[in-house]
Structure 1
C-alpha cells in the first residue's frame, strides 16, 4: 500500500508511519517543516530511504495540499490510503465565558478544514479499489451523545470531522473508496499526556490493521475506534 499520513513527525502519526514501513508499505510522511522532521523520523528515513517520502505540509494551508498533490501527480504516484492525523488541542480548560474565539477558529482550521483540504486535493490521486480508504483521526469527544461541558474547540472540531467523514464516505462509495473516522483511544502522546493507558504504537497497530483490511469494519459503521469497534455518534 501507499499511504499518505499527515502529522507524521511524532506521536500517533510517527508510530503509524513506522509500523507501515516495517510491513513493507510506502508512506508519504507529512510534517509542518520537512527541514526539521525530528530525530525519530530522521532515523526512520535513514533506515527506510526507499519507503518514506517526506513532505512539508501545513494543514492550515490549502496551497500546501494542492502543491503536494501536483507533485505526486506529476510523478505518476497513486495513493491507496490517506490518514488525516494532524491536529491540535486548545482551550480545554475554558468554559464559555473564557473561551478564546481565536483558539476556536484555529482549532477548526487545523482539525476540520485541514482534513477537508487534504481530501479535496489528494483523493483524486487515489486508486479506485475496495482497499481504498480515507481515515480521519477523530476522538470520542466528537460524539454528540457523549457531549460534556467545556472543551469546545476540540470537541466541536471532532464532531464536525465525523460529519464530514460520513458525507465523504457517501460520495466515494461508487469509486470503491471508504472514509472512516477513528477514535485512537487515550494514548500516551504530547496531546494525550503521560497518564494515558494506551501506547501510541498499540493504537497505530490497530489502525494499520483497519487500513490493510486485517480488521474488517461493517459497511454501516463510519465512526469506530482503533480496534474497529463502533463508536456512538
Structure 2
C-alpha cells in the first residue's frame, strides 16, 4: 500500500511513517522542510519505499503541485493520512484571543486536509482504501472546555469534514475516520503526556490496514484503538 502522510517530519507523523515502513508499506512523507535528519534516517533504512516530498498543506499550489507530480509518475495511493496540525493560542481566554490565530489554525487543521483530499482523492484507487484525519478529543462537542479555541474548534470542523467524506466515498469502499491519537509525548503534547507516539501510530496503522475494525459507529470518530469517541 502507498500512503500519503502529511506532517511527517516529527512526533506522531514520524512515528506513523516508521510504523508503516516497518510493515512493508510505501510512504510519501509530506513535509515543509525536506532536509530533516529524522526522516533521512528512515530513508537510509528503507530506501525508495520512502519518498520525502515538500508539501505545505497551507498552500494549495504546494498540494496541487505534488499531486500533479505523482499523477505524472503514475503513482496510486491506498491511504491518505492528514496528520499536519498546529496548536496555537494555548491558555488564551476568549476576551484576549487574536482572531489571526484562529484563522491560522483553520488554515492548517481544516483547510489543509480539505486541500489534500481535493487534490489527492483521484489517486486513492488501491483496494481497501483509507482516508484518515488525525483529530483530537479536544474536538468533541460533548467534552467541550473553555480554552484552546483555535485548535478545538478547527478539530470539531475536521470531524464534520470526515463525516461528509464518509458519505461521499462510501460506495467506493474507502474507509474514512477521524482519529483521536491520544495525549502523546511530542512537541505538541509535552513531556507529561502518558502515551508513546509509536503506540498511537501502531493503532492508527492497524485501523488503516483494517486489522482493527470499529463497530457500527454513530459518527466516524474513534480513538487510536478503534473505540468510538463522543462527537
Give TM-score scaled by structure 2 length: 0.97
Structure 2 partner of 1:203:
200
Is the CA contact 2:39–2:52 (under 8 Å) kept in the aligned structure 1?
A: no
Paired residue total: 230
- Please state how far the C-alpha of 1:127 moved relative to its aligned partner: 1.2
SS in 2 for 1:53: strand
Confirm or deny that 1:48 pairs with 2:46.
Answer: yes
For residues 32-71 of structure 1, the aligned pairs below 5 Å read: 32-34=32-34, 36=35, 38-71=36-69
8 Å Cα contact 1:134-1:179 kept in structure 2 = yes
* Equivalent in the alignment of 1:84: 82
Change (3 A) 1:211 1:143: same
* Residue 104 (structure 2) aligns with: 106
> Is contact 2:76–2:126 with CA below 8 Å preserved after alignment?
no
Residues in 2 aligned to 1:171 and 1:180: alpha-carbon distance in whole angstroms: 13
Q: Alpha-carbon deviations, 1:61-115, whole Å to 9, x = none?
A: 0111111111111111110000000000001111111101111100000000000
Q: Out of 165, 169, 178, which is 1:168 matched to?
A: 165
Root-mean-square deviation (CA), in Å?
A: 0.9
CA distance in structure 2 between the aligned counterparts of 1:201 and 1:106, rounded to whole angstroms: 28
Q: For the Cα contact (< 8 Å) 2:213–2:226, is it kept in 1?
A: yes
Secondary structure of residue in 2 paired with 1:83: strand
**Contact conserved, 1:88 with 1:111, CA < 8 A, in 2?**
yes
Tell whether the 8 Å contact from 1:2 to 1:78 is kept in structure 2 after alignment: yes
Residues 15 and 198 of structure 2 are in contact (CA less than 8 Å); yes or no, is this contact kept in structure 1?
yes
1:6 is matched with which residue?
A: 6
Provide the C-alpha distance between the structure 1 equivalents of 2:110 and 2:45, rounded to a whole number of angstroms.
33
Q: Indicate if the aligned counterparts of 1:128 and 1:175 stay in contact, CA closer than 8 A.
A: no
CA contact (8 A) 1:128 1:177 kept: no
Structure 1 residues 146 and 177, CA, compared in 2 at 3 Å: closer, same or farther? same
- Contact 2:139–2:153, Cα closer than 8 Å, also in 1: yes
**Equivalent position SS for 1:148:** coil
Contact preservation (8 Å) 1:60, 1:110: yes
Match of 2:225 among 218, 227, 230: 227
Counterpart-to-counterpart distance in 2, 1:175 and 1:82: 15
CA distance in 2, matches of 1:20, 1:128: 16
Q: Shift in Å at residue 218 of structure 1? A: 2.7
1:232 shift after superposition: 0.1
**Corresponding position of 1:138:** 135
Once the two structures are TM-superposed, the CA of residue 219 in structure 1 deviates from its matched residue by 4.7
Q: Hey, which bits of structure 1, 4+ residues long, moved more than 3 A?
A: none
